[in-house]
C-alpha cells in the first residue's frame, strides 16, 4: 500500500515538470513580441524594455531557465507586473472563495447525481430513466454562463429568493455564506452532475446484470440493500474516476462562474490578470490550477486501492 | 452448411433512408439540427433582415417584437441579426478546431501507438498538457498575443489534441497485438502501408466520435473565452461576445443574453447528439459502457 502511494506520488513529478516547462516556453516562443504586447498598445521602447527586464526575458536563455526552475522549487512564482506584489501572495489572498465554491459544487453535484444515476439504472428504460438521460444530454450542452444567467433571472431577479451576485466569507455568518454559494454551485455543477449521473447509471447497469445481484435478489434481500451494498459498491470505481475527471471541468468553470457571480476568487484573479495582460499572474495561476488537478488525480488513484483491493499498478 | 450458404447468398438489402432514420433517431435529429444551423450560418446575410453592426441609440434595449424579433442591445443593434451572424463564428471555430486537432491527434496517436520509442516522451507531454485546464491554457496563450480569431482557434486546438491522441493511441495499441498485424509484418509489409491499410481504418470510428465531442467543447470554450473578454475581438458578433456585452443590462434586457445563449446550447446539443448517435453506431463496445 505505502509503496503504491509513494510510486503514485513520484509519478506526479514529471507531469508538473512538463507543465512548468510548457509555461516557461510559452512566453518565450509566443508569436510576435510578448513584452510589447504586455506593455500595451502605445508603450514606448523604454517601457517595453522595462517589461522585458521584469520578465527576465533580456537574459541568456539557459540562465532564464535555471533561474525559473530554482524560483519554482522555492515556491516563488514571480511578481505581478501591475501591482508589484508577489504572485504567491495574490493567489493565497484569493484562495478561500474558490475552494468554498469548488467544494460546495462538488458536494451538490455528487449528492444529487449518484442517487439520480442509481435510480435511473434501477428503473432502466422507464420514464424516470429517460428523464435522467434527457437531463444528462441537456446538462452537457448547457454553457455555464447561460445557465447562470437563467438561474439569476428567476431566483434572484424575479422571485428574489437569493442574492444576485457577490460572495460572503464564512466569517460573516454561515447562512449568508451558504446563500451566496447556492446559485453559483448549481450553475457550475449541472454539467458535472450530468457527467456523474450518466456514468453512475452505466456502471450500475453493468453491475446489475451480474449473477451475484440475481442471487442477492433471489435470496430475498431488500431492494435498497441490493442496490446500495451489493451494486453501488461494485460500481464505484468508474464513478470515482469520473468525479476526478470532472474536477477539470469544475476548474475551467470556476473562472466563468466567478465572473458571472462576481466572486473574488482565483477565477476572477485570472480574468483580471488576462485583461491587464499580467502574464506572471496568469502563469502562477496555471501552475496552481494544474497542481490542484494533479493532486485530485492522485487522491483518486489512491482511493482506487481502497475501493477495489485488486487494483495495483 | 446449406443454410449458411443460403444466408450468404441473400442479395444485399437496398439502402433505405426511412429505415436508416428510424434506426438512428439520435444521429438524424443531431444532423438535421446541425445542418439547419450551418445553413443559417452560410446564408446569414440573406437571413438577417438588418445590419448586425448598425448602431441606433434611439432603439436601444427594445424587447423582442415584430420589428426586432430578438430585441435590441444597449447600442440599439438588432439581436436577431447579430445572433444569426454569431452562428458563423461558433460553427467555424468548432469545425476548424475539430478538423485540425483530429489530424494532429491522429498523426501523434499513430506515432505513439506504433513506434514505442516516441511514445514515452510524447505521452508525458500530453499528460502535462492535460493537467492544465483547457480554458486556462487558451487564456495564457491569448494574454501573450494580439486578439484575433486565428489565435483563439490555435489556443483551443492545443488543449484538445491530447484527448484525440489518447483515443487513437489506445486503439493502435490494441490492434498492434492482433495476429493479422503480426502476419502482415512477417509478410514484409512496410510500416507506412501497415499504418495506412491496417491500423488507420480501425482508428477511424473512435476518432470521428471523439472529434464531434472536441467540436462541441471547442464551441463552448470559444464562447467562454469571448464571454471573459479573452476571445475573438469584441466587434465580432460571436455568441460569447453578444452575451458578454449584454451583462451590464441583463436585469432589464435579459434577451441579449438568453437568446444567443439558447442558440449556443442548441448548437452544442446538436453536435453532442450527433456524436452520441455515431458512437452507438460505430463503436458499440464503448456505447454499452456509457
Task: Tell me the chain A residues in contact with residue B280 when contact means C-beta distances shorter than 8 Å.
Answer: none
Separation in Å, CA B150 to CA A36, B52, B142, B213, B233: 20, 22, 11, 21, 11
Task: Check if the beta carbon of residue B70 is closer than 8 Å to that of residue B80.
Answer: yes
The pLDDT value recorded for residue B290 is 47
Q: From the candidates A145, A151, A165, A279, which should be mutated to test the interface with B, based on the most B CB atoms within 10 A?
A: A145
The four Cα atoms A251, A253, A255, A260 give a dihedral, to 10 degrees, of -150
- Helix then strand then coil, in percent of chain B rounded to 5, is 75, 0, 25
Separation in Å, CA B178 to CA A269, B198, B266: 51, 11, 42
Nearest of A208, A246, A248, A214 to residue A228 by alpha carbon: A208
Q: Distance of alpha carbon B191 from its chain centroid, rounded?
A: 31
Q: Which helix (H) or strand (E) holds B1?
A: none
Q: Could you tell me which residues are beta bridge partners of residue B99? A: none
The pLDDT value recorded for residue B1 is 43
Does B134 sit within 8 Å of A145, measured CB to CB? no
What is the C-alpha R_g of chain B?
23
Cell triple for A273: 490578470
Nearest of A225, A241, A243 to residue A122 by alpha carbon: A225
- Runs of H (alpha helix) within chain A: 2-29, 34-39, 45-54, 61-73, 87-122, 127-141, 144-151, 174-208, 211-218, 223-225, 233-234, 236-261, 266-275, 279-307
Least CB-CB distance to A275: which of B131, B229, B268?
Answer: B229
Q: Could you tell me which residues are beta bridge partners of residue B78? A: B72
Query: Could you state, in chain order, the average pLDDT of each consecutive group of 10 residues for chain B (290 residues)?
Result: 49 70 84 91 83 76 77 80 90 95 94 85 88 86 84 92 91 85 86 84 88 93 91 89 87 86 93 88 62
Q: Give dist(CA B100, CA B266) in Å, integer.
A: 23
Task: Check if the beta carbon of residue A168 is closer than 8 Å to that of residue A179.
Answer: yes
- For residue A297, the chain B residue with the least C-alpha distance is B131
**Window B:128-147, CB contacts with A under 8 Å:** 128-137, 139-146
* Burial (CB count <10 Å: 0-12, 13-18, 19+), residue B28: middle
State the count of interchain CB pairs (< 8 A) between A and B: 162
B37 φ, ψ (degrees, to nearest 5): -65, -40
A220 φ, ψ (degrees, to nearest 5): 90, 20
Residues 6+ apart with CB under 8 A from B50: B78, B80, B81
Task: Tell me the chain A residues in contact with residue B152 when contact means C-beta distances shorter than 8 Å.
Answer: none
Q: Distance of alpha carbon A111 from its chain centroid, rounded?
A: 17
Task: Check if the beta carbon of residue A87 is closer than 8 Å to that of residue A273.
Answer: no
Least CB-CB distance to A14: which of B124, B145, B258?
Answer: B124
Q: What is the pLDDT of residues A100-121, one digit of tens each?
A: 999 999 999 999 999 999 999 9
Nearest of B220, B177, B203, B20 to residue A139 by alpha carbon: B220
Rounded to the nearest angstrom, the minimum Cα separation between A222 and chain B is: 27
Taking each helix axis from N to C terminus, what angle separates A127-141 and A87-122, rounded to the nearest 10 degrees? 160
Prediction ipTM score: 0.87
Does B258 sit within 8 Å of A290, measured CB to CB? no
CA angle centred on A248, ends A312 and A147, rounded to 5°: 140
Q: Give dist(CA B238, CA A152) in Å, integer.
A: 23
CB of B265 less than 8 A from some CB of A: yes
Task: Check if the beta carbon of residue B201 is closer than 8 Å to that of residue B172.
Answer: no
Least CB-CB distance to A146: which of B130, B230, B264?
Answer: B264
CB of B261 less than 8 A from some CB of A: yes
Cell triple for A310: 485488486
Query: Could you state, in chain order, the average pLDDT of each consecutive group of 10 residues for chain A (313 residues)?
Result: 83 88 83 77 81 80 85 84 89 93 94 94 90 90 91 90 86 88 94 92 90 88 84 87 82 90 93 87 91 88 79 58
CB of B287 less than 8 A from some CB of A: no
Task: Tell me the chain A residues in contact with residue B140 when contact means C-beta distances shorter than 8 Å.
Answer: 23, 26, 279, 282-283, 286
Least CB-CB distance to A153: which of B129, B254, B265?
Answer: B254
Q: What is the pLDDT of residues B181-207, one digit of tens each?
A: 888 888 888 888 888 888 888 888 889
The pLDDT value recorded for residue B3 is 46
CB of B216 less than 8 A from some CB of A: yes
Rounded to the nearest angstrom, the minimum Cα separation between A74 and chain B is: 21
CA angle centred on B272, ends B148 and A106, rounded to 5°: 85
Amino acid at each position: 500500500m505505502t509503496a503504491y502511494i509513494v510510486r503514485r506520488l513520484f509519478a506526479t513529478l514529471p507531469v508538473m515538470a512538463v507543465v512548468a516547462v510548457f509555461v516557461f516556453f510559452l512566453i518565450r516562443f509566443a508569436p510576435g513580441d510578448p513584452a510589447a504586447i504586455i506593455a500595451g498598445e502605445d508603450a514606448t521602447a523604454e517601457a517595453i524594455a522595462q517589461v522585458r527586464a521584469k520578465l527576465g526575458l533580456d537574459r541568456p536563455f539557459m540562465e532564464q531557465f535555471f533561474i525559473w526552475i530554482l524560483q519554482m522549487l522555492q515556491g516563488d512564482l514571480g511578481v505581478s507586473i501591475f501591482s508589484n506584489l508577489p504572485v504567491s501572495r495574490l493567489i493565497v489572498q484569493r484562495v478561500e472563495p474558490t475552494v468554498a465554491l469548488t467544494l460546495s459544487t462538488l458536494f451538490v453535484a455528487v449528492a444529487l447525481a449518484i442517487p439520480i444515476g442509481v435510480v435511473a439504472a434501477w428503473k432502466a428504460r422507464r420514464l424516470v430513466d429517460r428523464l435522467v438521460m434527457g437531463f444528462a444530454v441537456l446538462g452537457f450542452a448547457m454553457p455555464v454562463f447561460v445557465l447562470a444567467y437563467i438561474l439569476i433571472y428567476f431566483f434572484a431577479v424575479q422571485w428574489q429568493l437569493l442574492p444576485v451576485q457577490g460572495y460572503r466569507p464564512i466569517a460573516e455568518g454561515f447562512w449568508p455564506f451558504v446563500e451566496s454559494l447556492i446559485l453559483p454551485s448549481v450553475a457550475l455543477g449541472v454539467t458535472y452532475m450530468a457527467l456523474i449521473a450518466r456514468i453512475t447509471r452505466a456502471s450500475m447497469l453493468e453491475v446489475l446484470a451480474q449473477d451475484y445481484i440475481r442471487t442477492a435478489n433471489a435470496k430475498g434481500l431488500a431492494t435498497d440493500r441490493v442496490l446500495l451494498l451489493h451494486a453501488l459498491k461494485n460500481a464505484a470505481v468508474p464513478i470515482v474516476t469520473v468525479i476526478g475527471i470532472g474536477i477539470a471541468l469544475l476548474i475551467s468553470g470556476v473562472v466563468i462562474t466567478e465572473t458571472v457571480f462576481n466572486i473574488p476568487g482565483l477565477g476572477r484573479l485570472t480574468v483580471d490578470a488576462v485583461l491587464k495582460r499580467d502574464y506572471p499572474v496568469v502563469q502562477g495561476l496555471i501552475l496552481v490550477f494544474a497542481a490542484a488537478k494533479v493532486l485530485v488525480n492522485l487522491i483518486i488513484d489512491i482511493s482506487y486501492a481502497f475501493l477495489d483491493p485488486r487494483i495495483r499498478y | 452448411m446449406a443454410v449458411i450458404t443460403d444466408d450468404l447468398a441473400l442479395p444485399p438489402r437496398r439502402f433505405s433512408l426511412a429505415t436508416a432514420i428510424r434506426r438512428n433517431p439520435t444521429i438524424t435529429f443531431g444532423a438535421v439540427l446541425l445542418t439547419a444551423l450551418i445553413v443559417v450560418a452560410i446564408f446569414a446575410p440573406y437571413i438577417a433582415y438588418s445590419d448586425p453592426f448598425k448602431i441606433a441609440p434611439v432603439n436601444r434595449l427594445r424587447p423582442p417584437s415584430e420589428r426586432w424579433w430578438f430585441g435590441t442591445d444597449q447600442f440599439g443593434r438588432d439581436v436577431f441579426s447579430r445572433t444569426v451572424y454569431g452562428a458563423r463564428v461558433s460553427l467555424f471555430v468548432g469545425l476548424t478546431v475539430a478538423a485540425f486537432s483530429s489530424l494532429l491527434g491522429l498523426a501523434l496517436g499513430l506515432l505513439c501507438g506504433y513506434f514505442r520509442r516516441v511514445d514515452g516522451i510524447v505521452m508525458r507531454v500530453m499528460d502535462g498538457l492535460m493537467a492544465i485546464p483547457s480554458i486556462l491554457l487558451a487564456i495564457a496563450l491569448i494574454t501573450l498575443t494580439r486578439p484575433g480569431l486565428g489565435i483563439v482557434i490555435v489556443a483551443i486546438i492545443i488543449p484538445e489534441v491530447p484527448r484525440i491522441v489518447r483515443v487513437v493511441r489506445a486503439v493502435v495499441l490494441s490492434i498492434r497485438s492482433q495476429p493479422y498485424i503480426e502476419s502482415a509484418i512477417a509478410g514484409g509489409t512496410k510500416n507506412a502501408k501497415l499504418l495506412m491499410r491496417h491500423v488507420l481504418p480501425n482508428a477511424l470510428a473512435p476518432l470521428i466520435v471523439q472529434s464531434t465531442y472536441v467540436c462541441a467543447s471547442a464551441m463552448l470554450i470559444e464562447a467562454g473565452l469571448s464571454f471573459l473578454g479573452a476571445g475573438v475581438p469584441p466587434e465580432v458578433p460571436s455568441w460569447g461576445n453578444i452575451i458578454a456585452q449584454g451583462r451590464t443590462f441583463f436585469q432589464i434586457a435579459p434577451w441579449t443574453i438568453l437568446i444567443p445563449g439558447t442558440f449556443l446550447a442548441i448548437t452544442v446539443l446538436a453536435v453532442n447528439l450527433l456524436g452520441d448517435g455515431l458512437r452507438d453506431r460505430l463503436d458499440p463496445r464503448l456505447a454499452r459502457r456509457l
